[in-house]
C-alpha cells in the first residue's frame, strides 16, 4: 500500500516509477508501524511541496539580499483534537498569528502564550515591512539566513537554529537527481541492447 502510494506520488511529481523505492528508503526505512508511516509520509509531502522549495529559494535569494527564514513550529491549541499527534503546524497555520486573528473575536479559546506569540510575530512582520529587518526591541534575535543557514523557529519560545533539514535538502537536490540520472542511464543502456 505504501509503495503504491509513493509510486502515485512519484507520477504526480513527474518522477520515474523506480523513485518510489528511493523515497521509501529515505523516509520510511524499514518501518511497518502505521502511525510512523503516516507521520513520515506527511513529512515527505511537507518537504516536497514546501520545505525544500523554500530552502532553495532562500539559498538563491541570499546572494542578492538579506533573507530572514523561519519555520513555524507551534501547534495551535485549538487544533489539538483535530490534527493527528505527529503534526506540529501545517502550512498557513502561522497566518492566524501574523494577522492577530487567532481568537476569532473570542470564538476560539487561545492560551496566553499564543496571544504573546501572535504579538511577537506581528512585530516581526511590521518591522520587516517598515525597514527590511524583522528585529526590534523586546524581540528575540532573528538572524540573517546566510552561509551558516541560521533561521528562527517560531514557537511560544522562539529559538535560533541552523541548517533546517540539511540532510533532506541534500537528498532532494543532490542524491535523488544523481540516482535518477543513474536509473535513466541504466534504462537507456537496457533499451539499446
Task: Quote the CA–CA distance of 60 and 110 in Å, as a whole number.
Answer: 37
Enter the pTM of the model: 0.84
The answer to whether the CB of 138 falls within 8 A of the CB of 126 is no
Q: Please, which pLDDT band fits residue 15 given cuts at 50, 70 and 90?
A: confident
Backbone angles phi, psi at 16, to 5 degrees: -60, 150
Element (H, E) at 12: helix 2-12
Q: Please, which pLDDT band fits residue 2 given cuts at 50, 70 and 90?
A: low
Residue owning grid cell 538572524: 143
Neighbour-count burial of 130, counting CB atoms closer than 10 A to its CB (0-12 exposed, 13-18 middle, 19+ buried): exposed
Position 23 pLDDT exceeds 90:
no
Q: Please, which pLDDT band fits residue 54 given cuts at 50, 70 and 90?
A: very high
pLDDT of 89: 87
Question: Could you state, in order of their start, the residue ranges of all structural domains in the chain?
Answer: 1-64+165-193, 70-163
Q: For the segment 101-116, what is each residue's pLDDT rounded down to a tens digit?
A: 876 667 778 899 999 9
Q: For the segment 126-178, what is each residue's pLDDT rounded down to a tens digit?
A: 999 999 999 999 999 999 999 999 999 999 999 999 999 999 999 999 999 99
Amino acid at each position: 500500500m505504501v509503495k503504491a502510494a509513493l509510486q502515485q506520488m512519484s507520477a504526480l511529481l513527474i518522477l520515474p516509477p523506480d523513485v518510489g523505492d528511493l523515497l521509501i528508503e529515505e523516509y520510511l526505512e524499514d518501518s511497518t508501524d502505521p502511525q510512523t508511516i503516516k507521520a513520515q509520509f506527511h513529512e515527505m509531502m511537507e518537504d516536497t511541496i514546501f520545505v525544500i522549495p523554500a530552502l532553495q529559494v532562500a539559498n538563491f535569494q541570499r546572494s542578492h539580499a538579506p533573507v530572514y527564514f523561519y519555520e513555524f513550529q507551534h501547534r495551535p491549541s485549538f487544533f489539538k483534537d483535530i490534527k493527528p499527534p505527529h503534526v506540529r503546524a501545517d502550512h498557513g497555520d502561522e497566518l492566524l498569528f501574523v494577522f492577530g486573528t487567532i481568537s476569532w473575536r473570542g470564538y476560539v479559546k487561545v492560551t496566553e502564550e499564543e496571544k504573546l506569540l501572535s504579538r511577537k510575530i506581528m512585530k516581526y512582520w511590521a518591522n520587516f515591512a517598515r525597514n527590511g529587518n524583522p528585529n526590534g526591541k523586546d524581540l528575540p534575535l532573528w538572524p540573517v539566513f546566510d552561509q551558516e543557514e541560521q533561521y528562527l523557529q517560531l514557537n511560544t519560545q522562539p529559538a535560533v537554529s541552523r541548517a533546517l533539514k540539511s540532510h533532506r535538502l541534500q537528498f532532494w537536490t543532490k542524491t535523488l537527481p544523481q540516482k535518477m540520472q543513474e536509473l535513466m542511464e541504466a534504462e537507456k543502456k537496457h533499451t539499446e541492447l
